[in-house]
Structure 1
Amino acid sequence: MSVVHYHESTDRAYAKKLREAAPEEFKAYRNFSDTAVGRQDGVIPPKYRELIAVAVGLVTQCVYCLETHTAKARQLGVTEAELAETVYVTAALRAGAAAAHGMMAMKLYEHAGKENAGAPTYHESTDRAYAKKLREAAPTEFAAYRNFADTAAGREDGAIPTKWREVLAVAVALTTQCVYCLETHTAKAKKLGVTEAELAETVYITAALRAGGGAAHGMMAMKLYESAA
């Protein structure tokens, strides 16, 4: 079998094969993506729709999505500073998902030490009580993480306005499926004036990009199928 190269821009040639092999599914996906991400008349401006798309593409690590949406973002006037800030908001929220689930880890650690404790419960708002234990058990690491999160996601003087930083945070939390992050950042978004319509559009832009990560890697699947013995 010949050597197959992964993640090349030439992989897009396989989009035609993918489309022709599942035309109805492709049509439905394309309509969803164009409606959720590409519409011009939504409550979220096109520029920020594309930054949300970039943020989700960073989390799913879909190079095809990043290629498409960084290009579109640039066409819409997104600057290098706005793109770089989106990268670090995303990184902070990915770190946050792990740190927040650290509360659950501390809870499960405590539960494991109890005899006849029964089944543990997952994902409760009361899990936040374990943040203190987590912080006290690794104070130096917590301080460094907190500084990163506050700088990347919470700063008020960046190129991206505070409201849209929180929308990006919500999109990343939806992608990482971190309920603790969602609790924190939907509350902050609401305080900053984000409406239900803006939140709902963020949900569907995120969903479309998660679907896009799978659909785009379908080009790679068709490529690998062709090269398989």
Structure 2
Amino acid sequence: MSSDLYAKEYIKNLSQLKSLVPEQMKTYRDFSAAVFSEGALSKREKELIAVAITHVTECPYCIDFHTKAAKKAGATLEELAEAVFVTVAVEAGGAITHSTHVHHTKQKDASDVLYSRSNLQHVGQLETLTPEGFSGYQAFSAAAVKVGNLSAKFKEIIAVAVANATQCPYCIDVHTKKAEQLGATNEELAEAIMVTSVVRAGGAYVHMANMIQSYREEE
């Protein structure tokens, strides 16, 4: 029995799926191929988004695969680092915006609606209670989405994709509006969200390599 839960050679186990679940394998591959085809977003842009999403799902197989695919599509290491820092910023923002629920809970007459846009007015509580920490977050968040090797518009498209991956309604709302303000089209946002969908699915798919390995070890 291997002591390494994440060994690259385990990926070979996925070849068995073609015979175990042929219909599911074909439709999954067709789904992935359709999502990563050129459209409103280029193959390079889609792979950059994919790498950002793999850092939400924290799947090492997916990080490896999509980083190599992004490099092959022409993405630079600087671009990849900027894309992942968008993920870092959105993850941080999700914690910040969800802090509003703490304030909500402490209100005796709080509404039964847990997710209301008006909740965001309470984000300022963090700035009051932890001014230095909140100031640090604001500076970091601004740096993560400003123009660099990637445009501000594309970073907000990534942010929308990440927000859908983290399933933070506040983040989806905020970053969708920012993306549209910067000129992102409905088609670009839709394609970015589809990349999120296939990469999240891919995390579950590729971990079947570990399932098969574990099953074999018990034979």
Structure 1 and Structure 2 fold alike (TM over 0.5): yes
Query: Which region of structure 1 is more displaced relative to structure 2, 10-19 or 180-189?
Result: 10-19
Alignment match of 2:169 (pick from 179, 204, 209):
179
Indicate yes or no: 2:73 matched with 1:76: yes
- TM-score, scaled relative to structure 2: 0.95
Which whole-Å CA distance do the structure 2 matches of 1:190 and 1:119 have between them? 30
2:104/2:110 contact within 8 Å kept = no
**What pairs up with 1:150-169 in 2 under 5 angstroms?**
150-153=142-145, 155-156=146-147, 158-169=148-159
Distance 1:135 1:121 in 2: 24
- Counterparts of 1:119 and 1:165 in 2: how far apart (Å)? 34
Higher relative contact order (CA 8 A, sep 6+): 1
Tell me, in whole angstroms, the C-alpha distance in 2 between the residues paired with 1:192 and 1:87: 20
Shift of 1:120: 3.0
- Runs of 4+ aligned residues of structure 1 deviating over 4 Å after TM superposition are none
1:228 corresponds to which residue?
218
TM-score, with length taken from structure 1 = 0.91
What amino acid is aligned across from residue 174 of structure 1 in structure 2? N
Q: 2-side partners of 1:67 and 1:20: how far apart? A: 25
Corresponding residue for residue 22 of structure 1: 21
The CA deviation string for residues 162-213 of structure 1, in whole angstroms up to 9 with x for no partner, is: 1110111111101000111111110011011111111111111110111001
- Quote the offset at 1:118 in angstroms: 7.4
Which structure 1 residue ranges, 5 or more long, are not aligned? Answer: none
Is the Cα–Cα contact under 8 Å of residues 18 and 222 in structure 1 kept in the other structure?
Answer: no
Write out per-residue CA displacement over residues 40-65 of structure 1, whole angstroms, 9 at most, x where no aligned residue. 2x110111000011111111011111
Unmatched segments (≥5 aa) in structure 2: none
Instruction: Please list, as runs of the form range in 1=range in 2, the aligned pairs for 1:3-152 lying within 5 A after superposition.
Output: 3-37=2-36, 39-40=37-38, 42-108=39-105, 110-111=106-107, 114=108, 117=109, 120-152=112-144
RMSD: 1.4
Partner secondary structure for residue 99 of structure 2: helix
Q: Between Structure 1 and Structure 2, how many residues are aligned? A: 219
User: How far apart, in 1, do the equivalents of 2:92 and 2:176 lie?
Assistant: 18
- Give percent identity, aligned residues only: 34
Instruction: Measure the CA separation in 2 of the matches of 1:67 and 1:83.
Output: 12
Write out per-residue CA displacement over residues 139-182 of structure 1, whole angstroms, 9 at most, x where no aligned residue. 111111111111112x12x1001111011111110100011111
